[in-house]
Each structure stands twice: as structure tokens, then as C-alpha cells.
Amino acid sequence: MPELPEVDAARHLVIRHCSGQSISKVLCNESGGGPRDGQFDDIVISDGVDAAQLTKALQGRTLKTVQRKGKQMWFELSGDGPSPLFHFGMTGSFTVKGVKALKYKEFKVRDDEWPPRFTKLELVFSKGTCLAFSDPRRLGRIKLRASPSLEPPISDLGPDPVVGPFPLQPFHEALKKIQAPIKAVLLDQERVVCGVGNWVADEVLFHSAVYPGTPAGALSDAQVQALHSAIVNVCSVACEVGADSSRFPPEWLFHYRWGNGKGGDRLPDGRKIVFETCAGRTTAWVPEAQKGTAAAKVAKRGQKRKATDTQLEDKEARVKVPKRPAPSKKAKKTEKANRDEGDNVVFVKKQRNPPAKRIDYASKKAAVPSSRGPKPSKRKASVTATDPKHKASHKPAAAKSTKAKAKSSSRRK
């Protein structure tokens, strides 16, 4: 992600090649051969600004200079009207036609063809200079502001360590009131400083020998002073060399931090570089150089203890009401025997869908009747052919039915 030094290098690029020229043409639709080629990107060109409004605000006006605060930059144009404000996001960049593109460590600007791929806005100046703003990931923003320095987002930013002023005392007083990790505080553009991104934060913490997870309010006076000096020094040196990392001092952590722990990253003197997540970002630090303060260690221990207590509470809650074990085969046999004897059996696990009871009809017929005698049947006893009293009445049943049929037919006649 372009941070303060990279944005400052882009500012100088635009001033060097475009300053003093008027904007003769504004091309607002995406170009360069990306998937949205020919479309107006209303995400990057934000705040409801359409192509007609942007063209009217820029065309015919002369670029006087380019300003920057933190990671934000804006054009100062002649005449009345709003100024364009640019934020680079993760992959935004400016490119001038015929000029070698700026180099970024985490992404590459494709300038082998014109316009560059994913160009969102192209400005053509009076002397033929072409300037393109490209952004593959569409996290950059182009806004219009009447007074950029007096309106959000510029007015909400903390002090800029290069443009200034960035005095030590207010910086120290602000840190005393904050208990968040110092790296998270540095990354917040509206708190104590602006323009500091991930690699700059790691660099200044390395130079000031401060562990990134140290609570900001726990820093000593000496640590705060060292941190303030490191922020000013790192940002100023990086801007002086145009954010060209090959010209950064050789002792900087920047040169050795890009392996993310995959290749046994170490400094030239053998000190190990450790990678962990802090403030939601991959953080590179050197344990031998950046000793964590006692407060940071206590806070870390407290977090572990809290997590352990929670785990114990969860464990106790789980074992409070233990599950009753399923009865063994022996217990089932005992339960069946007790049921036959008429005993009440306790501790019987109910089955959700018990199997249907099988009835042995053969054994029922052969069973000896009890002393009480058979239960009286609700239905009438069936007449059997073996009963001598009913032999005569049983056989003519069919004849009776025949007579009944004849009688009924005679009635019909």
C-alpha cells in the first residue's frame, strides 16, 4: 500500500511533468484493457460525482501545484471551482506517459502500454503530457472538494511528520491516554500522526526499540521521544530519496522484512525477524532489539489467564450434569427378569422408537387358563360345526339365504 513516502514521490512526479499546464481533455471512463474498460467507475470516483461534473471541474483549468497531507494529495488549480482529491488505497498510482513508472514493493504498475491497465482517470495537458490514475483493486478514491485542507478527510487527519508541524509534547500527551497497542495507534490516521502505514510503523518501532504490542500509555518518556524522532527521521529520509527503496539506508528493517517468515528472515548481524499479527496487520519485529515492556508482558499474561479461566468455566459447565451411561446387556437382562416378576424397575433408558412386540399365537392357544377363568368376550361366541346342538342350524345357512332370495324376487314380481 502506498504510504507517506510513496504518495510524496507521486506528488513530485506530477509537479515535475504537469505543473503550469492547463487540462485540455478529461477522460473519465476506464481504459487500458481491464474488465471494466469503457465504463465509468463510480466506486473509485466517489461521493456521487459523475463524468460530467468531473469534466466540468477540471477541463480548462491550469495545474498550479500539488499538495499532500499523510496519504492524501490534491491538485491546486487556477480559477474558481473544486479541486480533485486523491487517495491511493492499496494499489493506486499516477503514471506519466513516456516516463518510467514509480516502483512499489507490493505491486507493479504496468506502463509498457498506454494507457496503463486499470486506468480510472486520464488527464491530457496543453503541452501533450498525459497523466493517468490507475487502481487495479479499486480501493483508491477520487473526490472533489471546494477547500480540501479545510474539509474531511484532510481536516480529520493527525499531524504530518514531514509537512508538519509535529511537536513532541502533544504527541506524548496523546499517547498517555491510550491503552491500545502502539502499532494500532500509529496506523490510525486520525489519532496522533498521519501517513504512517504498515512498513513505516514497523520501521519506526524497530528504530526506537519498542515492541509493537506495547500499550501506548505504558511507554516511558525515553521511548516516546525515541519513537517521535524515528517517525520524523524515517519519513523524511524516505521522501528525500523519492521512496526509492534501493536508496534506503542498508541497516533498515525494510530490506529484510518481505519474506514473511518463509525463508528464515534475519538481519545481516544474525538477529532473527519475527512475524506476527498486530492491529490486524502482518508485523515484522526483532525480539533482540525490541524488548517488550513489563506492562506489555503483564497484559499478555492477563489475556492468557482470562482465556484459561473462561476455558475452565466452560469445562465446569459441561461436567455439571453428566450424561447417564447406557445400560449394559447384563442390566437389560436383569430389568427384563424384574419386569416379569412384576417389580418396578428404575434406571431404564427409554428407546425413542421401541420395536413392536411380537405375539406368539400358538403358545396362547396352548396356554392353561388361569384359576380366575377366561375373561368374558364382548363378541358373541362363534358357532362351530363340531357342536352337535347347532349342526342342523349351521348347515342350512346357505339354504336359508336361497329361500330369502326367492322370496325377495317373488315380491318384486
In terms of C-beta density within 10 A (0-12 exposed, 13-18 middle, 19 or more buried), how is residue 406 classed? exposed
**Rounded Cα gap, residues 289 and 335, in angstroms:** 73
Q: 5, 69, 71, 116: which is the annotated catalytic residue? A: 71
- DSSP track, 377-391: PSSPPPP-TT-GGGH
What is the b/e burial string over 359-398, where b = at least 16 CB atoms within 10 angstroms of the residue's CB?
eeeeeeeeeeeeeeeeeeeeeeeeeeeeeeeeeeeeeeee
149 phi, psi to nearest 5 deg = -70, -20
Burial class (CB in 10 A: 0-12, 13-18, 19+), 118: buried
Instruction: Say if residues 46 and 84 touch (Cβ distance below 8 Å).
Output: no
Rounded to whole angstroms, the Cα distance separating 305 from 327 reads 40
Max Cα–Cα distance, the chain, nearest Å: 135
Active site residue 71: yes
Q: Which of 3, 6, 30, 122 is catalytic?
A: 3
| Residues 109, 101 contacting (CB under 8 angstroms) | yes
DSSP string, 307-338: HHHHHHHHHHHHHSSPPPPPPPHHHHHHHHHH
SS (H, E, C) 240-252: HCCCCHHHCCCCC
Length of the chain in terms of residues written: 413
- Order across the sheet with 141-145: list the strands: 63-69, 72-77, 83-87, 141-145
Residues acting as catalytic residues: 2-3, 71
